[in-house]
């Protein structure tokens, strides 16, 4: 371990502010999705594995990618950003400890542990922060590390991981955790021998990480299925890679249009990644056309209620749960939502109720009785997707709604206000 805790001079990337949204405008037009947040974060972290230079394209310029870049710089990487291109020079990394202040800012910081262990066989970090949507332990990550022969000790809130050699092994995940699958992949890339991860997460972001690592010289197969095989290689090479489109942002934009009864052509998406979301939108009454890298949506006059159960991919994504709850607040009929991934992901519903939504939450279930109209209110974002859900509700409400705490929304959405305004919304941002 190097240096003492809490002595880092870290530039804060924090904006406090509000969106003022005048509701009742029908959204129409053509926009594009940004690069994926959840693919960019592990890929940025994975760049550390290469003792060289990595160029990444289509990385969204959002709070979470800024924090990841801050951590990479703090560890010794040189990082340059020109619009959506990021160049990372990781030849000078000399520190294996992730500062507590940065670690607590974002859940995805935990993925850096796998990259540091993979390259240096050494990492020190504390439990990560992130949105408050449940306990979010990291036991599955640590169990996967231990399977690969990593020694783990815990001391004054810090977790220290070291080993002499990383030897490929079989890893069975009790639950297909996205982060644990990614962390295990990163540790195994430069290991001796072959690692097989069973009950792996199958999310498209895992496939994107595999594609990036393979372009850098790794030998990984099976991402997108339940079993991933990683044949250890001795060394990686410099590469360039374009990150996949953001399927959750895409789903949010489609739902925003649907809730206003509008029409949109959404470009730069992978329609296949959106299947569970598009199927539910069709059930709600939307007409949907898919092209190679675009989706066209025409909303009905009145949406219909639907029931949803969140599941690991290819099931309905938990990250779209709040967005759909918002949409269903004014749908015809009663919807039942079951949240199966995170145990505390309905906090935002109290804010929707302030706008007149009829939602009853019991444990993991939310029952939504569609109402004719939502009212303006002053509301607070409580987490990233819950914050986006409030924007959708405001687009559909009468009068001017003020959404506060937008720093949660800025964590994960690139220019959401500008994209919606380009479709005819009336959103102004007030930064304090
Ligand atoms: C990732 C996504 C997040 C998404 C989630 C589920 C990123 C940056 N974030 O988060 O947007 O909502 O997948 O699709 O990609 N769990 C444990 N122990 C562990 C790890 C996870 O019990 O060690 C539990 C979690 O508490 C949760 C469930 O497993 O209940 C799923 O978590 P996981 O798939 O790991 O989500 P993240 O990778 O954190």
Which residue of 36, 112, 136 sits with most ligand 1 atoms within 8 Å of its CB, as the best mutation to test the pocket? 136
At residue 101, the pLDDT reads 87
At residue 16, the pLDDT reads 75
At residue 1, the pLDDT reads 33
Report how far ligand 1's centroid is from the alpha carbon of 380 (Å): 24
At residue 132, the pLDDT reads 65
> What are the residue boundaries of the structural domains of the chain, listed by start?
17-34+245-431, 37-242
Half-sphere exposure of 346 (CA within 13 A, CB side): 19
Q: Which atom of ligand 1 lies nearest, measured to the CA of 130? A: 39
Which residue of 107, 114, 177 sits with most ligand 1 atoms within 8 Å of its CB, as the best mutation to test the pocket? 177
In this prediction, residue 306 has a pLDDT band, given cuts at 50, 70 and 90, of very high
Collapse the DSSP code of 25 into the 3-class scheme (helix H, G, I; strand E, B; otherwise coil) and give the result: coil
At residue 253, the pLDDT reads 98
Q: What percent of the chain has pLDDT over 70?
A: 95
- Does residue 382 line the site of ligand 1, with CB under 6 A? no
What value does the mean pLDDT take over residues 380-398? 96
Burial class (CB in 10 A: 0-12, 13-18, 19+), 137: exposed
Q: 412: part of which helix (H) or strand (E)?
A: none
- Structure confidence by residue, pLDDT tens digits, 268-288: 999 999 999 999 999 999 999
Report how far ligand 1's centroid is from the alpha carbon of 408 (Å): 18
What value does the mean pLDDT take over residues 370-395? 96
- Structure confidence by residue, pLDDT tens digits, 155-177: 888 899 999 999 999 999 999 99
Q: In the predicted model, is pLDDT for residue 432 greater than 80?
A: no
Looking at the chain, the number of H-run helices and the number of E-run strands are 14, 25
Give the distance, in angstroms, between the CA of residue 158 and the centroid of all CA atoms in the same chain. Answer: 25
pTM for the full predicted model: 0.94
What value does the mean pLDDT take over residues 138-146? 95
Report how far ligand 1's centroid is from the alpha carbon of 422 (Å): 33
What value does the mean pLDDT take over residues 37-48? 98
What value does the mean pLDDT take over residues 130-134? 60
Measured N-to-C along each axis, helices 204-215 and 178-188 cross at an angle, to the nearest 10 degrees, of 10
Rounded Cα distance, 287 and 29, in Å: 15
In this prediction, residue 126 has a pLDDT band, given cuts at 50, 70 and 90, of confident
Catalytic residue among 16, 126, 127, 131: 131
Q: Whose CA is nearest to atom 15 of ligand 1?
A: 38
Domain 17-34+245-431: what homologous superfamily? Enolpyruvate transferase domain (3.65.10.10)
What value does the mean pLDDT take over residues 111-123? 96
In 292-372, beta strands by DSSP E: 294-298, 308-309, 334-338, 358-362, 365-369
At residue 129, the pLDDT reads 66
- The answer to whether 131 is a known catalytic residue is yes
What value does the mean pLDDT take over residues 227-247? 98
- Non-local (6+) Cβ contacts of 139 within 8 A are none
What strands, in cross-sheet order, belong to the sheet with 294-298?
28-32, 263-267, 294-298, 287-290
- Does residue 38 line the site of ligand 1, with CB under 6 A? yes
In this prediction, residue 389 has a pLDDT band, given cuts at 50, 70 and 90, of very high
At residue 7, the pLDDT reads 33
- Does residue 137 line the site of ligand 1, with CB under 6 A? yes
Cα distance from N-terminal residue to C-terminal residue, the chain: 38
Give 37-242's CATH code, choosing from 3.90.76.10, 3.65.10.10, 3.40.50.10070, 3.40.1350.10. 3.65.10.10
**Structure tokens belonging to residue 388:** 């986006």
What value does the mean pLDDT take over residues 50-73? 96
Q: In the predicted model, is pLDDT for residue 263 greater than 60?
A: yes
Which residue of 146, 178, 316 sits with most ligand 1 atoms within 8 Å of its CB, as the best mutation to test the pocket? 178
Q: In the predicted model, is pLDDT for residue 87 greater than 90?
A: yes
Question: Looking at the DSSP assignment, which residues form a beta bridge with residue 375?
Answer: 398
The overall average pLDDT reported for the chain is: 93
In this prediction, residue 136 has a pLDDT band, given cuts at 50, 70 and 90, of confident
Strand pairing report for 426-431 and 85-89: unpaired
The one-character DSSP state at 423 is T
Rounded Cα distance, 43 and 406, in Å: 26
Q: In the predicted model, is pLDDT for residue 11 greater than 50?
A: no
Shared fold status for 17-34+245-431 and 37-242: yes
Q: In the predicted model, is pLDDT for residue 128 greater than 80?
A: no
At residue 9, the pLDDT reads 35
What value does the mean pLDDT take over residues 19-39? 97
- Structure confidence by residue, pLDDT tens digits, 100-114: 888 888 888 899 999
């Amino acid at each position: 371990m190097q240096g003492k805790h809490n002595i880092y001079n870290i530039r804060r990337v924090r904006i406090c502010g509000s969106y003022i949204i005048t509701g009742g405008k029908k959204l129409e037009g053509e926009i594009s999705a940004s690069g994926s947040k959840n693919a960019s974060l592990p890929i940025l972290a994975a760049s550390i594995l290469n003792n060289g230079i990595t160029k990444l394209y289509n990385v969204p310029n959002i709070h979470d990618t800024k924090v990841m870049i801050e951590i990479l710089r703090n560890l010794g990487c040189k990082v340059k950003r020109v619009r959506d291109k990021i160049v990372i020079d990781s030849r000078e990394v000399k520190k294996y400890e992730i500062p507590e202040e940065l670690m607590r800012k974002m859940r995805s910081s935990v993925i850096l542990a796998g990259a540091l262990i993979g390259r240096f066989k050494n990492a020190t970090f504390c439990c990560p922060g992130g949105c408050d949507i449940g306990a979010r332990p990291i036991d599955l990550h640590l169990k996967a590390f231990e399977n690969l022969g990593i020694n783990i000790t815990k001391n004054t809130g810090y977790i220290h991981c070291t080993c002499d050699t990383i030897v490929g092994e079989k890893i069975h995940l009790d639950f297909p955790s996205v982060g644990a699958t990614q962390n295990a992949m990163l540790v195994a890339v430069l290991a001796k021998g072959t690692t097989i991860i069973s009950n792996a997460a199958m999310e498209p972001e895992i496939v994107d990480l595999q594609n990036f690592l393979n372009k850098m010289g790794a030998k990984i197969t099976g991402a997108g299925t339940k079993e991933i095989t990683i044949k250890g290689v001795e060394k990686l090479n410099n590469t360039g890679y374009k990150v996949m489109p953001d399927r959750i942002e895409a789903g949010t934009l489609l739902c925003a249009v649907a809730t206003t009864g509008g029409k949109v052509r959404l470009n730069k998406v992978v329609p296949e990644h959106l299947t569970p979301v598009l199927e539910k939108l069709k059930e709600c009454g939307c007409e949907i056309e898919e092209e190679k890298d675009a989706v066209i949506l025409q909303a009905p006059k009145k949406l219909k209620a639907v029931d949803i159960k969140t599941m690991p991919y290819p099931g309905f994504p938990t990250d779209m749960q709040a967005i759909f709850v918002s949409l269903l607040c004014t749908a015809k009929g009663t919807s039942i939502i079951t949240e199966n991934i995170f145990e505390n992901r309905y906090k935002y519903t109290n804010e929707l109720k302030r706008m007149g939504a009829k939602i009853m939450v019991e444990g993991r279930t939310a029952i939504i009785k569609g109402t004719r109209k939502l009212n303006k209110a002053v509301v607070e974002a409580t987490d990233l997707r819950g914050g986006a859900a409030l924007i959708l509700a405001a687009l559909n409400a009468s009068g001017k709604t003020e959404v506060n705490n937008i720093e949660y929304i800025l964590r994960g959405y690139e220019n959401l206000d500008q994209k919606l305004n380009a479709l005819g919304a009336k959103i102004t941002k007030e930064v304090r």
